[in-house]
Amino acid sequence: MVGGFRRLRAEIDSFKPDFVLIWGDDQYENFKEDVVPPFCVYIYEQLDCLPYRRSGVINTGVNVWGQPEDKVVPVQGHRSAGNFLARSLIERDFDVAYAFKPHHHPTLAHAFMRTIMFLDYDQRGFPYPVVPFHVNCYGSDLMRQMAGREEGELPPPAPTPRRCFDIGREIGRILEASPWRAVVVGSSSWSHAFLTRKNHGLFPDVPSDRLRLEELRAGRHTSWRDLKLDTLVDAGQHEFLNWICLAGAMAERTAEVLAWEETHIFNSDKCAAIFRP
């Protein structure tokens, strides 16, 4: 996987984007009981992040880079592009939320920071401005598992695969017509062990991930629009909604899979792939 991420970083460096848009989810970090938007564009100038600090999601201060927990990593945003994107989506009847500052989390949630860290695995620095785009991938399980509330009425769900695909496709069109060169990233692993209830939270749904991989390699990623949310939840593929947003933006392109790792003993199956212009 590290080799795959290094190849992705080389492609980004070669493309020289004006900014990198990352679709990422929130695991009870920035959004909690007071507001949980289906989608949210982060319109930031810069955030001083603490990616190595232990948290409720990453409960360890140890990392492969040997960095201390108090190491600050500045992440530059692209306020103009974020504002332009949110405005354009709302004008096209996609009613997204937007934020000019963090809510509960002091900086960026781990889905965004981990993506940046793996794209900078060799610690050379990540010089590209980032536009984080929140997707409420965890839906009903956000409050059931993250907030520890298994009892009571089922909370509202995540946005449907159809809606994620359509908003991704619209974002692709908006960026194609914009004055900027942009890279778009679908963050996240695929099936997660702790989300796969039928496997008692012990291992991911590897067969379901293999189906998604076959579809990706065959250029059938547009079929992800027709997936049912219940199918993804059953497979522990909640975070796959980020990839469905990416599939919408890349509907006219074919992916090259750079790396694929599956497991029955770790938390999740992982894929690195690229859609070139």
Domain ranges of the chain: 2-275
**Per-residue pLDDT tens digits for 9-56:** 999 999 999 999 999 999 999 999 999 999 999 999 999 999 999 887
Give the whole-angstrom CA distance, residue 35 versus residue 266: 32
Reported pTM: 0.96
pLDDT at 277: 79
Q: What percent of the chain has pLDDT over 90?
A: 89
Compute CA distances 93 → 99, 220, 230, whole Å.
18, 27, 26
pLDDT at 147: 65
pLDDT at 275: 97
- Greatest Cα pair distance, the chain, in angstroms, is 51
Place of tokens 């619209």: 170
Give the whole-angstrom CA distance, residue 188 versus residue 201: 18
Give me the CATH code for the 2-275 domain, please.
Answer: 3.40.830.10
Classify strands 97-99 and 270-275 as parallel, antiparallel or unpaired: unpaired
Low-confidence ranges of the chain (pLDDT < 70): 147, 150
Give the whole-angstrom CA distance, residue 173 versus residue 112: 23
**Residue 224, helix vs strand vs coil:** helix
Whose CA is closest to 162, among 113, 232, 58, 81?
232
